[in-house]
Structure 1
Amino acid sequence: MKDMLVRLVDLPDIGSEEKQLFQEENMVFRKPIAAEKSLILEWVEKNFSINWKDEVDVAFSNVPVTCFIAQRNQDILGFACFECSSKNFFGPTGVLPSERGKNIGKVLLVKALQALKELGYAYAIIGGVGPIEYYEKAVNAKVIEGSEKSIYENLLKHKK
């Protein structure tokens, strides 16, 4: 899997998508607080992977937390982290399969990238991308040629 590069000065405006999701789906996007850490870590492991749980754990070690969640009432619908695997990296990120196709992922993505921009970065790296076309369309990300060997190259995997 390759890494991608995003120009942070050209991020799309997600205001209308976020407003629509709030009005029609009662959905909010926010940074979680420390008191929610164990709930969010359990949710990420259950719905995605233990490796991603470990990365989200790092997000809670940062002050402020380097993660956003999408929430409806007491239910977590998705998450997006940044500066977990490495400085200036976006990810991991995930949205429940039942909630995909509603722009939740795009709102989380752009919010995280905006936070990286606020940290002073002009570009951000999306590491180990699966859906290249998604990121090209959502934020005009470009594949970094030769990035097959990235920080994830020798990643240890949990044995079941």
Structure 2
Amino acid sequence: MTGPREIARAALTFDAAEAPALVDRLMSPPATRRWKALTTDGGLVMVSLSERDPTIGHIDLLAVHPDAQGKGRGRELVAAAETWLRAEGATQARFAGNPPAYAWPGIDVRYTAAACLAESAGYERYHVAWNMTARLPVAAEAEPPLRPGVELHTAASGEDRARVAAFAEREWNANWAWEAANATGLHYATLDGEIVAFAAWGARPLWFGPMGTAPAARGLGVGGRLLRRCLADQHAAGLTETQIGWVGPLRFYSRAVGARAERVFWLYRRDLR
């Protein structure tokens, strides 16, 4: 029950393999983020402030080693997290992901004890999110030729990553730009030399995402191709399945790679007084 990584590995039974990497990611957020890791004997809570609205605080990760469970550690950690958030000016606390460096969108419903703790501590459920699972490798399929002027690329250099990150921030937001810059794998498409789409994996350890296609390139078929390039990378890295995180377009991923909706997350919040 020593360090945060060991506590997380023992406590997060559905995510044990990637638990240390999750702790490392939460400890390496964007430089502008205010965050804190708090521990008790056998327990860990990681908490941060939203950069979009600093009055909102996020309980990013809560873990209690099995040997310390049943002793009130979880409630102590939630109280400690709320105390830190109040001191930092937050007026609301959430069990919800704080993009771009997050562990989960909310509480995985399989961690039932965590959901019960949140509700007993006065948190209300306000949203539901889900992931999709894609089996790897994805079956190969014949694809039509790309239209003239369209090219696919791997962002192999820092300069490439910076260009894709700038595109993601311009078209979407700074969170996606950070994830593109910090992803394990990053692919993009150009139309007549200009970046028009990208797809990333590993910004949130082991998961796919984000990806986006600018309006000018929609209908060209580049999104599915970039997705499949990323999933091929993940299979080459030894994965037999991947999570497509915080999904919006179910139909796209279902048709493109046979993904299925699977993990469900409940998002909770409570006003701090």
Q: What's the offset of the Cα at 1:99?
A: 1.0
Q: What's the offset of the Cα at 1:38?
A: 2.6
CA distance in 2, matches of 1:38, 1:123: 29
Quote the residue 2:160 is aligned against: 36
Matched, 1:143 2:261: yes
Query: Alpha carbon RMSD of aligned pairs, Å?
Result: 1.7
Confirm or deny: 8 A CA contact 1:90 1:127 kept in the other structure. yes
Q: What's the offset of the Cα at 1:16?
A: 2.6
Look up the SS of the partner of 1:125 in the other structure: strand
Which deviations, in whole Å up to 9, do the C-alpha atoms of 1:72-128 show, x marking residues without a partner?
332001000001112x21000000112112211000000000110000111011000
Post-superposition, which runs of at least 4 consecutive aligned residues in structure 1 deviate over 3 A? none
For structure 1, list consecutive stretches of 5 or more residues without a partner in the other structure. Answer: 155-160
Q: What's the offset of the Cα at 1:37?
A: 2.9
Look up the SS of the partner of 1:144 in the other structure: strand
CA distance in 2, matches of 1:111, 1:37: 16
Matched, 1:124 2:220: no
Confirm or deny: 8 A CA contact 2:182 2:203 kept in the other structure. yes
Quote the residue 2:213 is aligned against: 95
Quote the residue 2:204 is aligned against: 85
Look up the SS of the partner of 1:85 in the other structure: coil
Pick the aligned partner of 1:58 from 169, 182, 204. 182
Which deviations, in whole Å up to 9, do the C-alpha atoms of 1:125-153 show, x marking residues without a partner?
100000011111111101114x224xxx5
AA partner of residue 265 (structure 2):
E
CA distance in 2, matches of 1:5, 1:113: 11
Instruction: Report 1 or 2 for greater relative contact order, CA contacts < 8 Å, sequence distance ≥ 6.
Output: 1
Structure with more helix by fraction? 1
The structure-2 alpha-carbon separation of the partners of 1:74 and 1:89, relative to structure 1 and needing over 3 Å to count, comes to: same
Confirm or deny: 8 A CA contact 1:11 1:110 kept in the other structure. no
TM-score, normalized by length of structure 1? 0.79
Pick the aligned partner of 2:143 from 4, 16, 21. 16
Structure with more strand by fraction? 2
Q: What's the offset of the Cα at 1:31?
A: 1.0
Pick the aligned partner of 1:105 from 223, 244, 255. 223
CA distance in 2, matches of 1:11, 1:79: 21
Q: What's the offset of the Cα at 1:25?
A: 2.3
Confirm or deny: 8 A CA contact 1:67 1:112 kept in the other structure. yes
Quote the residue 1:25 is aligned against: 148
Look up the SS of the partner of 1:120 in the other structure: coil
The structure-2 alpha-carbon separation of the partners of 1:142 and 1:35, relative to structure 1 and needing over 3 Å to count, comes to: same
Quote the residue 1:72 is aligned against: 191
Q: What's the offset of the Cα at 1:54?
A: 1.1
Which deviations, in whole Å up to 9, do the C-alpha atoms of 1:40-69 show, x marking residues without a partner?
22111010111101111212xx4xxx1001
Look up the SS of the partner of 2:245 in the other structure: strand
